[in-house]
């Protein structure tokens, strides 16, 4: 006998999510299916059908759910994961907008890039800092590439840039590349050009439209900071293990469901932010990160941590587990919990010394957020 499959419509957040599911599936199974579709953890979901709350242990058949049924999903505040990309409005200041509008209005000027004043160009070459954030750019001015080896920092954040050409490789001494809040896709970036920047220590691609990172990333062996938050990434490349000098990895608010085991080879990592993703577990190799000081994992589907985390990561003092299913009972079973808790308390006390008022030093699975 074939399994009966029905299509139901989940009403959530002003929209409708079509889902195909077996009638013999439990309500709990349906919640698991909805988790990656809604970013709401199963324990934060309340499903309502015909005015009644569906009980986890019952099947859809016994709950009298039929083909085409409409089921309302109500989400408990805070019990969510994988917030997804944050959509931004162009944040250019009024003065910069006026400047860009004026430049576009001048006869003979390009309409997709801001004109570069001669004095500004000279300043770039003298300081090595190309500052073009919040300039309402849709493309990168050609004058940028003429700076060549004198450029140390290129900041193009908060524009509407859709393309990073191979010419980026001409800035061969570049140390910091900031591309936050643009319109970049993985295929619109010349990764050959980017990975030719052998002196690059900071790469920031927050708030774009990236769905993946190429294996070529492994060539950036001098990279110390990688910021890829608020994109649509589903995984990290295995070549990330080649980034042995990486100290900061910020990858929150994506769709990452797994972390490669080679993360354990990034032994310089001191701060890792994987909050608001779709993680169910972490690889055991996290225990190899002996320089790790801060780990942010809030709003994921985690039920446990690598058993060696507290014992091996002897500098870990900040841990954020808000919105996960990890309990204190689980944490206390790990070797090294007492030493971690002491480090955490000492750090918490130091932070309180600089603040007005007091507070509890009890670990509440999320108290150690950044201040």
For the chain, 371 residues long, give each residue's pLDDT as a single digit of tens. Answer: 446 889 999 998 888 899 999 999 999 999 988 888 888 888 889 999 998 999 999 999 999 999 999 999 988 765 555 543 333 343 444 334 444 444 444 434 444 444 566 677 788 888 999 999 999 999 999 999 999 999 999 999 999 999 999 999 999 999 999 999 999 999 999 999 999 999 999 999 999 999 999 999 999 999 999 999 999 999 999 999 999 999 999 999 999 999 999 999 999 999 999 999 999 999 999 999 999 999 999 999 998 899 999 999 999 999 999 989 898 888 999 999 999 999 999 887 876 666 544 444 555 544 343 32
What pLDDT sits at residue 122?
Answer: 83
Contact, 337 vs 55, CB < 8 A?
Answer: no
What pLDDT sits at residue 354?
Answer: 60
Longest dimension (CA), the chain: 79
Q: How many CB atoms lie within 10 A of CB 38?
A: 21
Which architecture characterizes domain 94-353 according to CATH? Alpha-Beta Horseshoe (3.80)
What pLDDT sits at residue 328?
Answer: 87
β-bridge mates for residue 226, sequence order: 203, 249
Residues of the chain with CATH 3.80.10.10: 94-353
What pLDDT sits at residue 103?
Answer: 42
What pLDDT sits at residue 258?
Answer: 94
CA distance 233 to 360: 36
Contact, 322 vs 345, CB < 8 A?
Answer: no
**In the CATH hierarchy, which fold is given to the domain comprising 5-75?**
Ubiquitin-like (UB roll) (3.10.20)
What pLDDT sits at residue 126?
Answer: 86
| SS3 assignment, position 226 | strand
CA distance 343 to 164: 44
What pLDDT sits at residue 353?
Answer: 65
Contact, 177 vs 199, CB < 8 A?
Answer: no
What pLDDT sits at residue 350?
Answer: 74
Q: What is the CA radius of gyration of the chain?
A: 24
What pLDDT sits at residue 266?
Answer: 97
Residues of the chain with CATH 3.10.20.90: 5-75
pTM for the model: 0.71
What pLDDT sits at residue 38?
Answer: 84
Q: What is the pLDDT of residues 324-355, one digit of tens each?
A: 989 888 899 999 999 999 999 988 787 666 65
The secondary structure of residue 78, as a DSSP letter, is: T
Nearest-5° Cα angle at 271, 269 to 273? 120
CA distance 209 to 61: 40
Q: What is the pLDDT of residues 267-286, one digit of tens each?
A: 999 999 999 999 999 999 99
What pLDDT sits at residue 39?
Answer: 81
What pLDDT sits at residue 42?
Answer: 85
């Amino acid at each position: 006998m074939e399994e009966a499959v029905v299509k139901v419509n989940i009403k959530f957040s002003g929209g409708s999510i079509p889902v195909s599911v077996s009638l013999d599936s439990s309500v709990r199974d349906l919640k698991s299916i909805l988790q990656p579709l809604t970013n709401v953890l199963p324990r934060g979901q309340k499903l309502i059908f015909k005015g009644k709350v569906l009980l986890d242990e019952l099947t859809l058949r016994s709950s009298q759910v039929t083909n085409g049924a409409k089921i309302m999903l109500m989400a408990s505040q805070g019990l969510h994961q994988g917030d997804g990309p944050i959509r931004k409005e162009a944040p250019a200041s009024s003065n910069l907008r006026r400047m860009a509008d004026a430049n576009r209005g001048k006869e003979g000027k390009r309409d997709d890039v801001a004109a570069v004043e001669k004095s500004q160009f000279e300043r770039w070459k003298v300081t090595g800092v190309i500052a073009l954030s919040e300039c309402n750019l849709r493309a990168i001015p050609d004058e940028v590439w003429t700076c060549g080896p004198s450029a140390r920092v290129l900041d193009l954040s908060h524009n509407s840039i859709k393309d990073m050409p191979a010419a980026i490789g001409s800035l061969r001494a570049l140390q910091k590349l900031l591309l936050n809040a643009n319109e970049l896709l993985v295929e619109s970036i010349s990764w050959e050009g980017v990975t030719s920047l052998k002196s690059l220590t900071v790469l920031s691609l927050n708030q774009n439209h990236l769905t993946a990172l190429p294996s070529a990333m492994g060539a950036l062996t001098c990279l110390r900071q990688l910021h890829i938050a608020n994109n649509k990434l589903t995984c990290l490349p295995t070549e990330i293990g080649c980034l042995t000098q990486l100290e900061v990895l910020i990858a929150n608010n994506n769709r990452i469901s797994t972390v490669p085991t080679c993360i354990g080879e990034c032994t310089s990592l001191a701060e890792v932010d994987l909050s608001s993703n779709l993680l169910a577990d972490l690889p055991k190799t996290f225990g190899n990160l002996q320089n790790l000081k801060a780990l942010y994992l809030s709003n994921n589907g985690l039920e446990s941590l690598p058993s060696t985390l507290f014992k091996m990561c002897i500098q870990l003092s900040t841990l954020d587990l808000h919105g996960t299913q990890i309990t204190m009972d689980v944490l206390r079973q790990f070797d090294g919990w007492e030493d971690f808790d002491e480090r955490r308390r000492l750090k918490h006390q130091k932070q309180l010394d600089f603040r007005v008022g007091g507070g509890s030093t009890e670990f509440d699975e999320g108290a150690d957020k950044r201040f």
